[in-house]
Amino acid sequence: MQPAARDGATGPTVFEFARLPIAGIITRLVPVKHPRPNCAQALLLMCFLLGSPAVAAKADGAPSLVQRLITEYCADCHDAEMKKGGLDLASISSLAVDTHPEIWEKAVRRLQARQMPPAEKKRPDESTYQEILSELERSLDAAAERCPNPARRRCGG
């Protein structure tokens, strides 16, 4: 899509930008010699577009809120080694929440009911529960907006 020139301006308007496919946005944001972006550029843009602290580690290498809380309260039972209940949260905590929405939806329900961590284990205070629930719900809601019916079609790709 080549937009018409507007008073000497070049490139798409904000409204035209919203209609571009993701590859078109990437090639306009990240100058490359080849017309197709590479995987690193696509991943960088997706992290930028998602913009959520729950998505992977922060750019400065610090763990996200989800990673910190999973490590502190959940990884003793829900890591690759123990995998209690068949659940390995430690392995997916560094990924975007929308990569495993069914797991995070279940985790949200357990956190809302204060079923996890179990009463006999170290538990977060109420403000920490609210903070993680807010972050997970925000990330899941944003994912649902981007892809309202992932079972019927592949989203984001």
Average pLDDT, the chain: 74
Q: Are residues 121 and 78 in the same domain?
A: yes
Is 4 among the domain residues? no
Q: Are 84 and 118 in the same domain?
A: yes
Q: Has residue 70 been placed in a domain?
A: yes
Are residues 96 and 41 both part of a single domain?
no
Per-residue pLDDT, averaged over 73-80, amounts to: 94
Same domain, 45 and 70: no
C-alpha atoms less than 13 angstroms from C-alpha of 129 in its C-beta half-sphere: 14
Residue with the bigger pLDDT between 124 and 48: it is 124
Which region among 31-45, 62-76, 83-97 has the lowest average model confidence (pLDDT)? Answer: 31-45
**At residue 122, does pLDDT exceed 60?**
yes
* Ramachandran sector of residue 57 (left: φ over 0; alpha: ψ -120 to 50; beta: rest): beta
Count CB atoms within 10 A of the CB of residue 67: 21
What is d(CA 66, CA 74) in angstroms, rounded to the nearest whole number? 10
> Total structural domains in the chain?
2
Residues 78 and 124 in one domain: yes
With respect to residue 69, please indicate whether it lies within any of the assigned structural domains. yes
pLDDT above 90: residue 130: yes
Cα distance between residue 43 and residue 156, in whole Å: 12
Q: Are both 46 and 101 inside the same structural domain?
A: no
Specify if 8 maps to a domain. no
Q: Which two tokens stand for residue 30?
A: 């990240």
For residue 124, give its domain range: 65-146
Say whether both 30 and 69 belong to one domain: no
In a domain, 113, yes or no: yes
**What distance lies between CA 118 and its chain's CA centroid?**
26
Closest CA to 117 of 81, 98, 89, 80: 89
Q: For residues 110 and 114, what is the distance between their CA atoms, to the nearest angstrom?
A: 6
Task: Give 7 or 64, the one with higher predicted confidence.
Answer: 64
